[in-house]
Structure 1
Amino acid sequence: MNLVDQINASNKRNNKKFILIGVLIFVALIAAAILPFFINPKAFYDEKDGKIYFGSKELTYIKANEFKPLDYSVAVDCTKVYYNGNPVDFVDRKTFRNLDKGFYLDKNGLYYEKTAFYAKNRLEPLEGDYDKATFHSLGYQTSLFADKTNLYAIEVFADPPLKKIEIPGLDIASVESLHNNWLKDKNKVYFDDWGNIKVCSEIDAASFVVLNYTVAKDKNKVYYITRGLKSDQKEATEKADYAVLDGADAATFEMINSKEYRDKNRTWTIAREGEKVEYNMPEGRTK
């Protein structure tokens, strides 16, 4: 083996070592995040025999008839807010409420659940130029929030974990999440891939309706999500996107089940590759 071959072989060995070290570090981080749930699988609030627990810890300072969990980590009684069973003294109990996905609000400001691999998770004030009077979640099926001025998406590894989304022409006062991947304001429809927003100028907003997680339509056309799903016409895509179901009659298009659809002319299939579809054909119709 000459010198060049020796150097290349050494580099390959080093690269394998670096890859292995990286994989081990990643596994260790994931393990650190989920290990508490294996050690204490009831790491949330529970009521038993008139007593309140967080995991295996009895919360002797809370009366069961005064207690209300807001989510896995946050709960309230008549006087205080609790995070992981511990009192939170910097929030206003009377006006405190859950906004969704680890964000909260009281009369003084906004708060979020800060998570960390190497420190205890905690509740913290949300710093930034947010309008707390109008700040709200667009729904449990989306990662989006809005206030009177801006649209925001959850950015998990950022601090604070929100990023502002700029969409030219967006009417923030009327924007709403319709279902899963779709947003709409009074003028346009938007495709949402966890904060990556595409303006759908070809879709008629006034007549746009979402049929289910997969399929939507307006007065002119039928649209379907293509990530992982194959139609009679097109192959599935790996990334989130949508396509027009060419030839479908939008006016009569309807859902039979989660994989089958029909219009006045035929039955359509939208399913995962290799997924078995058993047709329940209406009388007088053929696929």
Structure 2
Amino acid sequence: MGLFSFLFGCSDSSPYQEKNGVWYFKDEALDNMPAENFKPLNDFFAKDEKQAFYRNEAIVESDGPSFLALGDHYGKDKNQVYYCDTHRKGQEYFTIKHNQITTIPEAEPASFVDLGQEYGRDKGNVFYKGKRFQVTDPASFKIVDYGFSVDRNRAYYQRVTVVGSEAGSFKPLDSHYSKDSLHVYHSDFSYGTDSGAVPFTKILELADPVSFKVMESGYAVDKDRIFYNGTILAGAPESLQILPFSYAKTDKEVYYLGNPVAHADAQTFIVLKTITEEGDAKDKSSHFKQGVKVK
């Protein structure tokens, strides 16, 4: 076994191990007995002289001699590119992992590369989780941060074009706000449609890209305005204070989750160190709980 490990790269730390003549991925026996020259490739892929394996499952019709593991999810051989992952079933209370092995017919094996974060690219297309999506220039496509990506022409949020964006100066600021030399943007998901969560981005028309900066808890400011999740709030930016328990205040207004707190006195408003039955904040005359005055 020691000689085998030396020759073929299977160490004691590999999830692929041979026990009593049977090969296992962790505690699961491989569903096909490996042929000669079985070789673990990384923590999820292996191959022998006939075929490749993802976790404990043989990849049907794969070519072992030419197979390459490109990362944790993508692999390829001389004929095909594969996307592999696991999924769980609700009827099993999500306790059991099942393998999901998908052939990507649109992908060209010779030029396909793994970009990380479940993205991949060949010379003409970009893929996410094995599915192709539209970009203007696949050759220059790259992942940036916080779900944002760019090619030489456009920026993208969750694989949807950020309309009006300038790729060369585009910069994500956090998981929602971004900006370029022309605009500031706020991105999020809309819910309640038949297609589930749908990503969208809006331009904050009045925001100044030069002075715009993200604060905390959805708040942001530029030289003239305060924003909460892309909505303009009243108040002077220089007076904004981000408080615990989703509160914020300026010299004149108190906000809870971006909504004005009625009847709150901004000058004396403070958040309590601990939440009590009386509330989570107070001013000189009243207590408040989750942004509502306690009677």
TM-score by length of 2: 0.50
Aligned residue in 2 for 1:189? 155
Superposed, which structure 2 residues align to 1:15-54 within 5 Å? 45=15, 54=25
How many residue pairs get aligned? The number is: 202
Contact 1:99 1:136 in 2 (8 A): no
CA deviation map 1:28-53 (0-9, x unaligned): xxxxxxxxxxxxxxxx9499xxxx96
CA apart distance, 1:207: 1.3
Q: 2:223 aligns with which of 261, 264, 270?
A: 264
The equivalent of 1:70 in structure 2 is 43
- 8 Å CA contact 2:16–2:40 kept in 1: the answer is no
Identity %: 22
Q: Aligned letter for 1:198?
A: T
1:63-142, aligned counterparts within 5 Å?
A: 69-71=42-44, 74=45, 82-85=53-56, 90-92=62-64, 96-100=68-72, 102-106=73-77, 109-113=80-84, 121=99, 126=103, 128-140=105-117
Gaps of 5+ in 1: 1-43, 155-160, 230-236
Whose strand fraction is larger, Structure 1's or Structure 2's?
2
Q: 1:90 offset after TM fit, Å?
A: 5.0
Shift of 1:82: 4.5
Bigger Rg, structure 1 or 2: 2
CA contact (8 A) 2:213 2:220 kept: yes
State the AA in 1 paired with 2:82. Answer: Y
| Cα distance, 1:162 vs structure 2 | 3.1
Distance 1:172 1:123, change over 3 A: closer
Relative to structure 1, the CA distance from residue 213 to residue 85 in structure 2 (aligned partners, 3 Å threshold; closer, same or farther) is same
Partner of 1:149: 124
**Separation in 2 of the partners of 1:227 and 1:247?**
22
**1:198 matched to which residue of 2?**
161
Cα pair distance change 1:204/1:67, threshold 3 Å: closer
- Equivalence for 2:131: 162
The one-letter code sitting in structure 2 at the alignment partner of 1:243 is K
More helix, by proportion? 1
Q: Is the 8 A contact 1:255 1:261 kept in 2?
A: yes
Using the TM superposition, give the Cα deviation of residue 81 of structure 1 relative to its aligned residue in structure 2, in angstroms.
Answer: 5.8
Distance 1:228 1:75, change over 3 A: same
User: How far apart, in 2, do the equivalents of 1:182 and 1:96 lie?
Assistant: 28
Corresponding position of 2:264? none
CA contact (8 A) 2:146 2:172 kept: no
Q: What is the TM-score with the length of structure 1 in the denominator?
A: 0.51
Instruction: Give the counterpart letter for 2:84 in structure 1.
Output: E
2:147–2:158 Cα contact (<8 Å) kept: yes
- 1:104 CA drift (Å): 0.9
Per-residue CA distance 1:125-180 (angstroms, 9 max, x = gap): x363532232134441xx643211123344xxxxxx534x455xx12211223234
Paired with 2:172 and 2:113, the residues of 1 have a C-alpha distance of 22
Question: Which residue does 1:248 correspond to in 2?
Answer: 207
> Where does residue 174 of structure 1 map in the other structure?
140
Deviation for aligned residue 1:241: 1.0
Q: Which amino acid aligns with 2:142?
A: E
Q: Contact (CA 8 Å) 1:70, 1:98: kept in 2 or not? A: no
Q: Does residue 224 of structure 1 match 2:186?
A: yes
State the distance in 2 between where 1:184 and 1:209 align: 10
Distance in 1 separating the partners of 2:40 and 2:138? 37
Change (3 A) 1:279 1:199: closer
Partners of 2:126 and 2:58 in 1: CA distance: 32
1:184-211 superposed Cα distances (whole Å, 9 cap, x missing partner): 2212223445xxx3362x2222211111
